[in-house]
Amino acid sequence: MDLLDTLTAKGLRGEVPTREEALAVLATTDDELLDVVAAAGRVRRRWFGRRVKLNYLVNLKSGLCPEDCSYCSQRLGSKAEILKYTWLKPDQAADAARAGVAGGAKRVCLVASGRGPTDRDIDRVTDTMAAIKEADPAVEICVCLGLLSDNQAERLKAAGADAYNHNLNTSEGTYGDITTTHTYADRVDTVRKAHGAGLSACSGLIAGMGESDEDLVDVVFALRELGSDSVPVNFLIPFEGTPLAKEWNLTPQRCLRILAMVRFVNPDTEVRIAGGREVHLRSMQPLGLHIANSIFLGDYLTSEGQAGQADLDMIKDAGFEVEGAGEATLPRHRADVAEAAEAAAAAGGCGTAASACGSGGGCGPCGGHSHAPAGQSSAEGATAEEGADGNDELRSDLVKVRRRGAGTELAPNA
């Protein structure tokens, strides 16, 4: 079809599609799905070959968050029966990280619930990173601690952090519908702080919260304009005890279309299949590897994933290979941009390239797009996919709360 030919040609050249083309990907039919996957797969292989980067999550502090993000099992007022514990000690976190690295993970993601870190929290994470790096100096460390204050990103960078994760989650136009205790602008500010300090920006989205196709496209273009090096694509895990517990709006086919759209908009960027992979893609997970070049190994923050060995078997059986510690994830030209940003940050500059910021120079506000009304669903989402996974029902059979690994006496899943 002409659309896919155009998108493939643009992707192979590293060019960005129009918003209309991105929307058209989400509107394709199930009959066209394999063609969409094949087209996105050509773009993925052009920039990342058949490599799959493995990432491993360590939940440093679980639950009891003062923020009210509707999608989160750790939110204020959550009745989800998740693990709740305060900060892990550095050696405990290092032990958990070691299990992930032994399983093949190249990057360890250190996450803590809360609005944002105190200076004491930064000290805790600094000690934890030192313990992890002592065991394996080559491991990449991504930190996710919430909203950053001035100079905190610089402290994390100086302590050895490679990246900072802070997801935009959804479009600016609908952000207020899912969270009231902070704003979309707060999140953008934190991503810019991290990038400006020379940290690789890791920022993504959550699909399946009732958003429209326009919302999905808006947030993906916003992520590109922010210069995110890694785009995690989360699929909502509807935890019982949260406001979105009955939001079962996704099918495997829908998830693959979303991944393909993200790949076409970010042809040479790390696209990661993140939370909800097992819940929503299910038996079609291997097809996602033809689009994305990165996944999480094993369990997530508060939910269990499939066995780590099953992840490794899936990668091998699908004809892919685990990316080695000595291999660069991003294409050379992307790595050059990242290194230039890091050098600028070290010299006291902004650290964000004008082309990445999308504002024509400096670090001013990026241009926005028009948004669909809050809560509006796409035509496809309201017909073929509504109720496909039992909308208006709780699905505890698909959502399994994490009971092993960090914060427990049981071995982690890696």
Q: Which pLDDT does position 383 carry in this prediction?
A: 38
Residue whose C-alpha is closest to residue 209's, from 156, 245, 165: 245
Size of the chain in residues: 414
Helical spans, DSSP H, in 14-136? 19-26, 33-48, 90-102, 119-135
Cβ contacts of 309 within 8 Å, gap of 6 or more:
none
- CB atoms closer than 10 angstroms to residue 383: 10
Decide if 376 contacts 67 (C-beta within 8 A).
no
For residue 183 the two structure tokens come to: 């704003």
Q: How far apart are CA 272 and CA 296, in angstroms?
A: 8
Q: How far apart are CA 177 and CA 226, in angstroms?
A: 22
- CB atoms closer than 10 angstroms to residue 59: 27
Q: Which pLDDT does position 190 carry in this prediction?
A: 98
For residue 289 the two structure tokens come to: 């590897």
Q: How far apart are CA 140 and CA 173, in angstroms?
A: 34
Q: How far apart are CA 116 and CA 190, in angstroms?
A: 10
DSSP 129-168: HHHHHHH-TT-EEEEE-SSPPTTHHHHHHHTT--EEE---
Q: Which pLDDT does position 316 carry in this prediction?
A: 98
Residuewise pLDDT in 10s, the chain (414 residues): 699 999 999 999 999 999 999 999 999 999 999 999 999 999 999 999 999 999 999 999 998 899 999 999 999 888 888 889 999 999 999 999 999 999 999 999 999 999 999 999 999 999 999 999 999 999 999 999 999 999 999 999 999 999 999 999 999 999 999 999 999 999 999 999 999 999 999 999 999 999 999 999 999 999 999 999 999 999 999 998 899 999 999 999 999 999 999 999 999 999 999 999 999 999 999 999 999 999 999 999 989 999 999 999 999 999 999 999 989 999 999 877 667 666 776 766 544 333 333 323 333 333 333 333 333 333 333 333 444 544 556 676 788 889 999 999 899 998
Decide if 293 contacts 44 (C-beta within 8 A).
yes
DSSP 173-196: GGGGGT-SSS-HHHHHHHHHHHHH
- Report the chain's C-alpha Rg in angstroms: 20
Q: Which pLDDT does position 381 carry in this prediction?
A: 39
Decide if 51 contacts 321 (C-beta within 8 A).
yes
For 200, list phi and psi in degrees, rounded to 5. -65, 130
- For the chain, the domains span 2-357
Q: What is the 3-state secondary structure (H, E, C) of 232-290?
A: EEEECCCCCCCCCCCCCCCCHHHHHHHHHHHHHHCCCCEEEECCCHHHHHHHHHHHHHC
Cβ contacts of 316 within 8 Å, gap of 6 or more:
none
Active-site amino acid positions:
65, 69, 72, 109, 142, 202, 272
- CB atoms closer than 10 angstroms to residue 346: 14
pTM summary value? 0.87
Q: How far apart are CA 339 and CA 335, in angstroms?
A: 6
Q: How far apart are CA 354 and CA 142, in angstroms?
A: 24
Q: Which CATH number fits domain 2-357: 3.40.640.10, 3.10.180.10, 3.90.1150.10, 3.20.20.70?
A: 3.20.20.70
For residue 302 the two structure tokens come to: 């508060």
- Please give the C-alpha separations between residue 31 and each of 35, 253, 325, 388, in angstroms, as whole numbers: 8, 10, 39, 17
Q: How far apart are CA 21 and CA 29, in angstroms?
A: 15
